[in-house]
Amino acid sequence: MRHPLTTVLFLITITLQAQVPPYVTEDFPTDEQGYYFINASASNGMMMPSNVLVLDGAGHVAFRRTMPGSMNFRAWPDGRMSCTSMGRNIILDSTFAIVDTVICVNGVTTDPHDIRLLPNGHFLLLGTEERIMDLSAYPYFQSNNAPGSATALVECGVVQELDAAKQLVWEWHVVDHFDFLETDTTLLSNPLQVDWSHCNAVEQDTDGNILLSCRHFNEIIKIDRNADTVIWHLGGVSNDFTFTNDAGFIGQHDIRRLPNGHLTLFDNGRAPAHPCRGVEYALDLSGMTCTVVWARAFNGTATSRSMGSVQRLSNGNTLIGWGNLQPDNAMFSVYRPDSSRLCELAFVDTLITYRALYFDDLPFMLHRPGISCSVQDTTYTLTADAGWSSYVWSTGATGPGITAGANDTMFVEVPVSSGGWLRSAPFVPADHCAVLGMVPASQEAFRMFPNPAGPFVDLAFGTAGPRQIELTDAFGRVIWNTTTIGTDLRMPLERFPPGIYLVRVDGSVHRLVKGR
C-alpha cells in the first residue's frame, strides 16, 4: 500500500533507450551506499523476458540487462555473480559477461530455484527427477473428488554438489526419504502429473550439513551430509518441533542460517487467514521447540502466491522480497530491527522479483559512467566520461555530450560487452555544474531554482544553517544579504533589473540569471 501523505515518492520515468519499466521508491536514503540485486519480471512464467537489475543504495538503476526467464541474480564474495536464465545456472564475471554454466549431471534436470557457490569452489544446486508412481490409492485430487493415476508422473527434488570441474561429489534424492503424503494435499489437482516436493532453497549449514526447503511439504529439513539421513523436520507432516508462539509457515522460500544460529525464511502464507511475512526463528534442539523472535508481514491480509526472500543486513535491518504479492503491490521493503519500515520499492505495472538481495560492498568495481558539466550563460553542457563505444542519454539523445536545463534530472547509459548497460547516477546540472571557474555548487548540499529566475529565487539546503547568504552584481558588489539557520530561503528579486548575479553561500559561489 502506498502512503502518499506521509512519504515522498520518487517516480522513475524511463523513456526510449532505457527499457526498465517505471517504478516507485518510498523513503530511500539519498546517501545510502551498497547495491540491490533484483530480477524484474512478470508473474506469468519463468520463461518470460525480465530485467536483470542492479540498483544503488538510493534506488537508482546502476546496471540493467534483459534476460529471458531470469531468477536469482546475485554477487558472490569471490568476485563472480550468478543468475538463472532459461533453466540454467549461469556465472558472470565482474564485467557482467557470462563465463560459465552450471547444470545438474547424471540425467537430473537443473532446477533454477537456487544455487550456492561454496567457499571451497564447489557448487551446491537443486535438481528434479521424474518418477512414475501409482497414486490410485490417494483420493486427494480435484478437490478430494478423484484418485491419482496409476501411472502418474511425479516430479521429485534432488540436491547435488559438484566440484569446480563440475564432477558430482554428493547427491541426495527427496523421494528416497519421504512418503507421498508428505506433500500438501490441497495442492493436488492433476491426477496425471504432480509437482511433489518443489524444493526451492538449499543452504550449507555451519556444521557442513544441508538445509533444504520443500515448499509443497511446507517443511524445512536438515540433511546429514555424511549419513544421507534427515536430522530433523521443521514444519509439515513430519514436524519434529513445537511452535511455541506461532502457527508455523506455509509455502515458504529462502531458508537461511544467521550468524546467531537462528533461521530466516519467507513465509508465503495462504489466504484468507495466513498473511505472508519475513520471519526469524530460534530453534531449541534440546527441547525441540521453535520460537519466533522477529517477524514482519506486509500487512494483515496480503499473501504471496510464489517467490519471496528474506535477508538480514549487516546493520540489523531486514530486506524482504515479497514475491508474487496479492492483492497489494510491492517488490521489496527494508525494515528496521523494531519492524518499522525504512523504505520500499514497487513497479508501477506490478513486476515482481524471485529474490531481492542487498550488498554493502561489491567484490569488484562497478564502473558507472560519470558526467561532467560546464555552463555558459544559461546553457548547461553535460559530457560523459570518455572511453565507451556509445552513449545513450535519458532523453534518447546519443553521443558523449548533451545540453540540459539547470534542473533537469539526467542520466547516461553505456553498453558493456555482455549486452547489458551501465547507467550513471542521476545528474541535476544546477547541483553539480561549476560557475565561472569558482567553487562548484556540489561542495554545498544546495539547490537554487528557478534559474533563470523571475521575481524571486528559492534556495534549498541539505542541512540546517547557520549560513551567510549574499547576492552580488556582476561587478562583485553586495546588493542583498541575510543570515539563515533554516533549510530553505526565498530571495526577493523584484527590485533588481534583469541580468547576471552571483549568489554566495558561505564559501561557495553560484551563478544566477534574473529574467524579465
The residue ranges of DSSP E strands in 30-167, in sequence order, are: 35-41, 49-56, 61-68, 71-75, 81-85, 88-92, 98-102, 109-117, 123-133, 152-162
Verdict on whether the full-model pTM lies above 0.85: no
User: Which class in CATH covers the domain with range 434-514?
Assistant: mainly beta
Closest C-alpha to 312, from 246, 249, 254, 243: 254
Looking at residue 1, what is its pLDDT? 36
- How far is Cα 72 from Cα 55, in angstroms, rounded to an integer? 15
End-to-end Cα spacing for the chain: 45
Per-residue pLDDT, averaged over 262-273, amounts to 97
Per-residue pLDDT, averaged over 218-233, amounts to 97
Instruction: Supply the DSSP string of 329-377, one letter for each residue.
Output: --SEEEE-TTS-EEEEEEETT--B-S--EEESS-SS---PPPEEEEEET
- How far is Cα 82 from Cα 116, in angstroms, rounded to an integer? 9
- Answer positive or negative: Cα dihedral of 275, 276, 280, 283: positive
Phi, psi of 270 (to 5 degrees): -160, 130
- How far is Cα 264 from Cα 292, in angstroms, rounded to an integer? 10
Per-residue pLDDT, averaged over 311-326, amounts to 97
Phi, psi of 175 (to 5 degrees): -65, -20
Q: What share of the chain in percent tops pLDDT 70? A: 91
Q: What single letter denotes the amino acid at residue 87?
A: G
Q: Summarize pLDDT for 486-503 with one digit per residue, the tens.
A: 888 889 998 888 877 888
Q: Summarize pLDDT for 105-131 with one digit per residue, the tens.
A: 999 999 999 999 999 999 999 999 999
User: If you average pLDDT over every residue of the chain, what do you get?
Assistant: 89
Looking at residue 311, what is its pLDDT? 98
Domain with CATH 2.60.40.3080 in the chain: 434-514
- Strands 289-297 and 242-243, bridge-based pairing: parallel
Confidence label for 444 from pLDDT (cuts 50, 70 and 90): very low
Element (H, E) at 509: strand 508-514
Q: Report which of residues 131 and 462 the model is more confident about.
A: 131
User: Edge to edge, what strands does the sheet with 499-505 contain?
Assistant: 478-484, 467-472, 499-505, 508-514
Contacts for 101 with CB less than 8 Å, ≥ 6 apart: 88, 89, 90, 91
> Mind spelling out the 3-state secondary structure of 83-116?
EEECCEEEEECCCCCEEEEECCCCCCEEEEEEEE
User: Edge to edge, what strands does the sheet with 253-257 contain?
Assistant: 242-243, 289-297, 277-284, 263-267, 253-257
Closest C-alpha to 422, from 412, 409, 435, 431: 412
